[in-house]
Amino acid sequence: MARGMKKYEQMQKHKPKDFKRHIGVNEETFNAMIEVFRQYDENRKKGLGVGGRRSLSPENKVLLMLGYYREYRTLEHIGFDYGVSESTASRIVCEVEEVLIKSGRFSLPSKRELYKSDVALSFVVIDATETPCQRPKKSKESTTQVSKSVIPLKDRL
């Protein structure tokens, strides 16, 4: 069994407050996303030439996509956590994203619509604003290697 197969089961054990803290959306929003994606997954043609077996459940695919936007990690690291390759993780993120946008339930209204007073938002999915990531500064001193002496230590004295 792959590493990521139990991620959804682990998240179900969390309290609602912790669920939102870890995933970035409420449990109700997450369940609505799963419902939309599961319908898409069931309606896909399943026959010859469609592809291999699914590596992740629909729930874990949605978790993978949300984790990608929430944690600002590389697809290689997220793929490793879920037991899939980097390219598979990328395809999953694009697929889930496309399905949720096409459903119309998770897209944000335009600015004009927001200015109207009769618009009520029922779902806000993700704030994927880029934020700077703390990384060590690279300087010439930290990247320059010290040259080794070819004379043994006992001969240098």
Q: Quick check: is 137 in a domain? A: no
Q: What local confidence, expressed as pLDDT, does residue 135 receive?
A: 62
Among 106, 129, 113, 142, smallest CA distance to 32 is for: 106
Q: Quick check: is 11 in a domain? A: yes
Q: Quick check: is 19 in a domain? A: yes
Q: Does residue 25 register a pLDDT over 80?
A: yes
Question: 20-29, 73-82, 111-120: which range is least confident on average?
Answer: 111-120
Q: What integer is the mean pLDDT of 98-113?
A: 79
What are the distances in angstroms from CA 34 to CA 27, 46, 123? 10, 20, 14
Percent of all residues in the chain with a pLDDT value above 90, rounded to a whole number: 13
Q: What letter represents residue 77's amino acid?
A: H
Instruction: Please tell me the total count of domains within the chain.
Output: 1
Q: Quick check: is 80 in a domain? A: yes
User: Where does the pLDDT of residue 2 fall: very low under 50, low under 70, confident under 90, or very high at 90 and above?
Assistant: very low
Q: How far apart are the first and last CA of the chain?
A: 60
Q: Which SS3 state, helix, strand or coil, does residue 10 take? A: helix
Q: What integer is the mean pLDDT of 27-56?
A: 78
Q: Encoding tokens for residue 86?
A: 């980097």
Cα–Cα distance between 31 and 46 in angstroms, integer? 24
Q: Which domain covers residue 118, as residue numbers?
A: 3-44+54-127
Q: Encoding tokens for residue 139?
A: 């300087």
Q: Quick check: is 25 in a domain? A: yes
Q: Quick check: is 75 in a domain? A: yes
List b or e across 56-67, with b for residues whose CB sees 16 or more CB atoms inside 10 angstroms: bbbbbbbbbbbb
Q: Write down the mean pLDDT value for the chain.
A: 76
Cα–Cα distance between 98 and 37 in angstroms, integer? 10
Q: Quick check: is 156 in a domain? A: no
User: Where does the pLDDT of residue 56 fall: very low under 50, low under 70, confident under 90, or very high at 90 and above?
Assistant: confident
Q: Quick check: is 143 in a domain? A: no
